[in-house]
Each structure stands twice: as structure tokens, then as C-alpha cells.
Amino acid sequence: MELTRRLFVKTTAVALASAAAAGTLAGCSSLPSTSGSKKEALPADTVSTVGVCRFCGCGCGVIVESKDGKVVSVTGDPENGSSRGLNCVKGYYLANALYGEDRLTCPLIRDDKATKGTPEGLREATWDEALDLVASKLRDTWKADKSRLAFWGSGQQPIVEGYCQAKFWKAGLLSNNIDPNARLCMASAVVGFMNVFQTDEPAGCYADIDETDTFVTWGANMAEAHPMLYSRLTARKLADENVRHYDVTTMTTRTSASADKVLTFRPGSDIAIANAIANYLIQNDKYDKEFVAAHVQFKQGTENIGNATDDGYDKSDIGQAVDNVEPIDFAAFAKRLEPYTLQYASEISGVPAEDIQELAEVFADKSRKVLSLWTMGVNQHNRGTWMNHCIYNIHLLTGRYALPGDGAFSLTGQPTACGTAREVGTFSHRLPADLVVKNPDHRRYTEAVWNLPEGYLDAIEAPGFHTVKIFRELSKGNIDFLWSAHNNWAVSMPNLTRFLGKGDLKGINDAFICVSEVYPTLSTQYADVVLPAAMWVEREGAFGNGERRTAVFEKAIDPPGEAKWDLWAMMEIAKRTLEGEQIDGQDAFERLFGQWYDAAASDFKADQRETCKSIWEEYRTFSNPSLNERAAAINESAKLKMEAKQLAPYEEYIHNHGLTWPVREVNGEWKPTLWRFCDGPQEDGFDQYGVEQYGDHDMPGGVSFYKSADKKPSVVFRPYEPPAEEPSEEYPFWFSTGRLLEHWHTGSMTRRIPELNRALPEALLDMNPEDCAALGVADGDRVRLTSRFGTCDITVSTAGRTRPPRGMVFAPFFAEETLINLVVQDTYCPLSKEPDFKKTCVSIEKI
């Protein structure tokens, strides 16, 4: 770099960091826009675009600068309300993730299925050949038996792409065999939200972190998995020495470093602890009676539900009954909790009774605010939905929900698990905007927005295959066509011993598998066709992050080689698959996608900005029924309250660098909502218009849960039931898996970066030193990890990132050469169908 340029860049760097240090870290978002000064720093041929980080669920905003078709710098975007100018150190590699040496730049076809499971066997092809092949296989399967096709999507698929994918699958193919990898991370949170509040959304926002007095992390390693949010947590703690942090966890992690007290519990016993806290609050008359009387209804549900390990579980009598609940009164609820004394919970969990009492007292003290935060320890749990319930139970009993700094916040793991998987409905049981396939009113409403004849969607009344079911059926030879995008199932699914067909390759070899990807992965090794995708800012897209914030990332550069926007490939496959089909006497493809796509020209009718905007406008109609007369009438007659999740026009998201929904139009301006259901001025982030339209003012706590049945969320008693398997003589250790800072998910992007890979080159098995001594193994030794499900070899570490207690071990899941998911059980929460990645029982043997 030339000296003058170097000085200039450095001056810019200092100015930006100085502004960030002055304004944003403690949470007061007063940082002035830097775009003016930045623009002066740019050479004339440099373009600055607004983006969102590609990696985790935090959804940090970034400003991307590019020159000559290459990204040249990345800056934390101070105008993004989620991150306020901050990035974690993974931000160094946002651009490098685009430029890995083995980027896929050409469609690939496998002619010989015998080469599946190896890096060999894929040859280059033209787009036409690849698309014709994929579409013909999809169409053949569809015509023959549509239960034998599936799409597996992602919490990383941008919003309009997910929306079109759902529309293609549900309206075009009339199939519900579509599910996202969000099933593996957020499904328990989703079912919890629906059961408790009848709406899938967190009421709070990231600003709660800046306003609370006490943090309670439940099964969450934020320091590794949500670095930017953890930074805000520690900043808040530093700003006020009275702020406390309780870490409720199965092992010591980097997140424990900021904790005043770490409550280390036996895996699966968190429900006993939560119930003991609720019981203590009631027994000692330390709950919020006024709030409970005004806002809460009590229930109990089906119990002794066993474990969803066997294929027949969902259709079994108990599997069919897991969603049942019945109303009970407060006295009956209290009675159910009575067995959960501090002593009993201590016996089950191994946490000292006085520590549980201390945490209960934290919730009892109304002079302080309490914020619960949780992630995969709670969700990837054989009782994941129940544990979500139990956390809300404590917060609702103490009147701590939907208030600034005083709430319960389920953190998401992927950049658009909320925005795409959940909000546009790429689940096997859902339609866009919280609507579900089994509800006739919801189908009518969707038909109205999609301009389909009334009753057209009755064909998809029954939910399709959830994620685990898709891969179980694939391994049994019952899937003929699978298409996956924005995921890497051959590394991330549990029980890969079964799903990758070790010993019997029949299912996975016989099926036709299409993988849309940016790099070769283990999944592409099983693909019959690989479609090279444009990545991140190589096309325009939008993400919806964990705090209901929708943000657009602008196209900054072109994709390499022949890599294409996924949406283009999807349109071409839909066009070919639906050829000759009609809806209501009109060409089916034209009816569904003709407003954006010119089938004859094989291209979009407008540029990417206008295309995204046009698709968004149709999607936005779901939450703005007044835009569609037929939809408005159904919204009115069926009391769907669709405006409750109102989204703004597309360009508002660009101007504002993201907005949190519901976004309300006030005098021509679109105003976001930070604290959902909390009465107060919209200007200050409160839910003024929602409460006015559907709820009640002047309620206890100043909140009104207008989306819940009878405006009262449900406190549901959920008992402690043991994990699917417990340590035995044969399998004496608990085995938990998870993510670590350097590598995002399966490492398909982050492992392309040599330095990140060097920083964390291999998946290590973190062990307790005493266990190592007892087994005669030392740091660096290779061991064989074996469960009832499978086996893998791995290197032992006693100096790893996590510090498990005796009897427990941990390994991250990013490394395909270690492939720890060969060992992990595919037992899932019976309600959410989300697998338990945290409690497989294993033996450890030195090799």
C-alpha cells in the first residue's frame, strides 16, 4: 500500500474505533453516522454498500467497501441497531470467506453413484444440463409419489429466497416435505413460544442486555457463540458493579468467566432446578400476584412422554398425545410444583440447595431487573420445549416479561433462523407469517395472498416430514429426491452413522441429491448435482436476526465464474418442473412467479434490487392485509390479527439499516418496535399501536399480551423426566457437542481461511483432568469415542475451551475429518422434533 494511502486508511481506522469506544459499547447509541467521512476516504472507484455479517445469529451490521469487483474493507455499521458498530474477530474473515481457493464456480454432475462419499466423481457441466437433470428428477418423483421428495433449507437462506422456496414447494408442488436446519437449533424455542404466547417471537431485544441488573444464562455459551452480545453483557457488568451474572450450565465455559456464580448441573436436570425456583417463589409468597392474576393462565400437559428415539414414536399413542394440554387453576399448579423442593432439585441436579435458593431470591427481588438468556443447552434437549416453558414460567410468575431489561430472551444461532425459517415458514407444518398448514383459515389467507383458488391448499393440510424424519426416510431408501441449500447435513445431522449409511449405502446412494453450495463439503460428496451459488454480498438479500430485526445486505460484487444467485437457479428449476402444469387455467409457473420472472428469457424482469423489493412486497402483504382485499376480508372474519407482525416497505429497511418488527406507519414514517407487548410511546421503541389496536392499557406491569389466547400467556407445569439415556458401566460419560468461536457451524466457510483453521485446527475432546488420570490418557492422546449409535476417533485435551466436570466430555462439531455426529443420538424433543445434541452417553478408549 502506498504510504499516503496507508496513513489515510489508518487515520480512518482510528477515527472509527474512537467513535465506537465513545458511543456504543455501553449501549447508548449516540454514534453519529460515519458514512460522510468514510466516503471521503474512498478512492473514486470504490463502492460502499450496507451489509449484515454472514455468520452467527447476532446479525451485526457491516459496511462493505469494494473496488474492482473485490471487497477491500469491512467496518462495523454504527447505524445498525443490533450491533452499533461492533464486530467480533470473525469479522476479519468476512471477505476471505468469499475467496477460498476451492470456491465452486461451475455446475457439477456425478455420473457414477458408486463414487458417492468420496471427493471424486463430479464433472463439470453446463447450467442447462444440470438444471434439466435436477428438474427432470424432481418432476419424475413428484409425478410418481410426492411423499418421496424433500427440500432441506436453512436459517441462512435469505428471506426472499426462503419465501419463494416455500411458495414453490407448498403452492407449486403441493408438498410439505420442506424443513430447515433451524429444526436443529430453534424448534424447541419455537414450540415454546407458540405454546406459551401463541406467537413465535421474543418480546424483548438486544437492548435488554444494556438495561438489566442480573443476567441468568441457561445452557448458553454466549462468549463463543454470540460474541457481540456477550461483549454487551460484560460491558453492562463493568458499567455497574451491582450487576450480577448467574451461569446455569453443565460445564464451565468462557461465558462462566463473567459469572458471579456458576451453577453446574447434571445434564437434563435443568427442569428440576427451574421447577424448584418456581416452587420456592410460590411457597414463600414471593411471586407477583397482581401480574399473575391479570396476565397468566395455568395448564398441565401430557406427561411420561418417553423418548423419540425409535422411528415409530411420532405415530405412537404417546407421540400423538404430546401436544395435549388442559387448563388447571393456580392451586393445582402450585400443588404440582410441591415435590420440587430445593433439596429434591439439589439431589437430581447436584447443585447445592443454597445456590438454587439464591437464584430463586434473585427472581423474587423486584427492586432489580432479571434477564434470562439461553441457547442450545435448552433447545437441543430431549425436553427442550418443556425447558423453554419452565423459564417462561419463572418469568411470568414474577412479572418479568416484555419489560426493558426484565425478560426472557431466547437467542438464535443463525443469521436468519427467525427471518427466514420461522417468519416465511420453511417448516414442514407452516405457511408464512406464523400461519400453519392444518388451520383452514390460515390456508384461505395464504391462498388470498398467493392468488390461488379457494381450497387449493387443502392438499397440504397434513404437515410433511420434519428434518430428522427426512433423513431417517432417506437412509431407509424412502426418499428419491433431496435438494439441500445453505447447510451441510452430512456433517451437522446427528446419528450420521445411520444417515450416511455406514455399512449400507443404499438409501443415500439410490436417492438423487442436489446440493446448492459455495464450497465442496461432505454433503457435496453425496450429491448427484452441485449447483454453484453466489455467496453473501455477491447478490442482494435480507436476514432477520434474533431480536426481530430485518436487515438488507446489498449486492457489492459479482459472484465468481458461473456461480449464480440461488433464486435464479430456483426459478429455473421451478419453471422446468412445473412445465405444462396449470393453476386455475393459467400456467402454474406464471401464476406463482411470473410477476418477477420472465420464463422465456430465463431471467428476472428487473434488477436484483427491484426483484427483491417486488417479492418482499408480496410477502409483506401477509402482515399488511389492507394491501389485498381478499386477504383483508379473511383477516377480519377469522380474527387472524395479521397486522400484529407488520413489516415495512422494502426501502425502509435499506434507509434505516434494519428495523425490528412490528414496524408501524405513523404519519408517513415507519417506526420499529423494540419491546413487544409493552405499552408506551412507539417513538421510544414500545408497542404503542399494537396495544392500542388489540390489547389493553394500564394493565399490571404495563404490558398487554394481545396475541395470546384470552390475552393470557400459559404457564404450563412440566415435570422433570430423565434424559433418553444415562451413563452406565458400558457408556459412562455424558457427551455434549457445540460451537466454538473460530468456526461457524460445520466450518464450510471458516475452514477455508487458513489462519482461522490454524487457530482451531482440529476438534478436540475436552475432558476433566481427573477423568483423564483415571483412564490413563493425557493431553494429545487419541481416543475412540463410542456410543450406542456410532464411533469416532478424536484427540483429548484438558486445556480446551470448555472445562467439563467429571463424567462429562465436550467436542465441537465443525470438523468433518472427526465427524463427531457419527456418535450423537438422533433422539429428539417429542414436541419440537429438535434433536438432543447434548446428552449422548459414550465410552472413551485410548487407541
Partner 1 sequence: MEDEKVVISSLVVEALPDAVEAVAEALAQLEGVEVHEINDYKIVVTVEAPSTGASHKMASRFVEIPGVLNVNLIYVNFEDETL
Give catalytic residue positions.
90, 185-186, 376, 413-414
Please, which of residues 232-261 interact with partner 1 by CB under 8 A?
234-235, 238, 258
At its nearest, how many Å lie between partner 1 and the CB of residue 378?
A: 24
Rounded least distance, CB 36 to partner 1, Å: 16
Q: Is there binding between residue 70 and partner 1 (CB under 8 A)?
A: yes
- Indicate whether 518 belongs to the interface with partner 1 (CB under 8 A): no
* Sole binder of partner 1 in the list 30, 32, 92, 461 (CB under 8 A): 92
Piece in contact with partner 1 (CB under 8 A), picked from 171-179, 181-189, 352-360, 752-760: 752-760
Query: Nearest-CA neighbor of 214 among 187, 193, 236?
Result: 236
Asked if 181 interacts with partner 1 (CB under 8 A), we say no
Judged by CB under 8 A, which stretch of 67-75, 114-122, 163-171, 546-554 contacts partner 1? 67-75
The residues near 610 (Cβ < 8 Å, ≥ 6 apart) are none
> What angle, 0 to 180 degrees and rounded to 10, lies between the N-to-C axes of helices 353-364 and 270-283?
60
Residue 112 binding partner 1, by CB under 8 A: no
Query: For residues 596 and 609, what is the distance between their CA atoms, to the nearest angstrom?
Result: 12
Query: Which of 230, 616, 661, 837 forms a contact with partner 1 (CB under 8 A)?
Result: 230
Q: How large is the C-alpha radius of gyration of the chain?
A: 26
> What is the three-class DSSP state of 561?
coil
Angle formed at CA 754 by CA 753 and CA 757, multiple of 5 degrees: 90
Establish if 13 lies at the interface with partner 1 (CB under 8 A): yes
Q: Please report whether residue 99 would count as binding partner 1 according to CB under 8 A.
A: yes
Q: Which is nearer to partner 1, 60 or 387 (CB)?
A: 60
Residue 821 · residue 813 · CB < 8 Å = yes
- The answer to whether 29 contacts partner 1 (rule: CB under 8 A) is no
- Of residues 754-783, those binding partner 1 (CB under 8 A): 754-756, 758-759
Stretch that binds partner 1, among 17-25, 204-212, 349-357, 509-517 (CB under 8 A): 17-25
Please identify, using beta-carbon distances, which residue of 355 and 766 lies nearer to partner 1. 766
Backbone angles phi, psi at 121, to 5 degrees: 100, -5
**Closest distance between partner 1 and the C-beta of residue 26, in Å?**
8
Binding to partner 1 (CB under 8 A): which residues in 532-571? none
* Distance from the Cα of residue 499 to its chain's centroid: 22
Interaction between residue 42 and partner 1 (CB under 8 A): no
- Cβ of residue 28: shortest distance to partner 1, in angstroms? 12
The torsion angles phi and psi of 766, rounded to 5 degrees, stand at: -75, 125
- Is residue 750 a contact point for partner 1 (CB under 8 A)? no
Cα(108)–Cα(529) distance, rounded to whole angstroms? Answer: 6
Binding-site size, partner 1 (CB under 8 A):
50
**The binder of partner 1 chosen from 58, 74, 160, 417 (CB under 8 A):** 74
CB of 87 to partner 1, least distance (A): 4
**Site for partner 1 (CB under 8 A): which residue of 89, 321, 709, 774?**
89
Q: Which of 49, 87, 382, 385 binds partner 1 (CB under 8 A)?
A: 87
DSSP string of 482-531, one letter each residue = EEEES--HHHHSS-HHHHTTTT--HHHHHSEEEEEESS--TTGGG-SEEE
d(CA 733, CA 726): 8
Q: Looking only at residues 258 through 317 of this chain, which bind partner 1 when binding is defined by CB under 8 A? A: 258
- Binding to partner 1 by residue 666, rule CB under 8 A? no
Give whichever of 234 and 611 is closer to partner 1, judged by the CB atom.
234
59 is written with which cell numbers? 446479525
DSSP state of 303: -
- The string over 41-70, giving b where at least 16 C-beta atoms fall within 10 Å of a residue's C-beta and e elsewhere, is beeeeeebbbbbbbbbbbbbbbbbbbeeee
In the shown chain, the binding pattern of residues 696 to 735 toward partner 1, with x for contact by CB under 8 A and - for none, equals: ----------------------------------------
836, 739, 821: which is closest to 785 by C-alpha? 821
Interface with partner 1 (CB under 8 A), residue from 85, 399, 625, 747? 85
Q: Does 326 bind partner 1 (CB under 8 A)?
A: no
Q: Are 188 and 383 in contact (CB under 8 A)?
A: no
From the CB of residue 579, how many other CB atoms can be counted at a distance below 10 Å? 13
192 to each of 195, 307, 386, 403, how far by Cα in Å? 5, 18, 7, 19
Q: Which residues bind partner 1 (CB under 8 A)?
A: 1-3, 6, 9-10, 12-14, 16-18, 20-22, 25, 65, 67-68, 70-76, 85-89, 91-93, 95-96, 99, 228, 230-231, 234-235, 238, 258, 753-756, 758-759
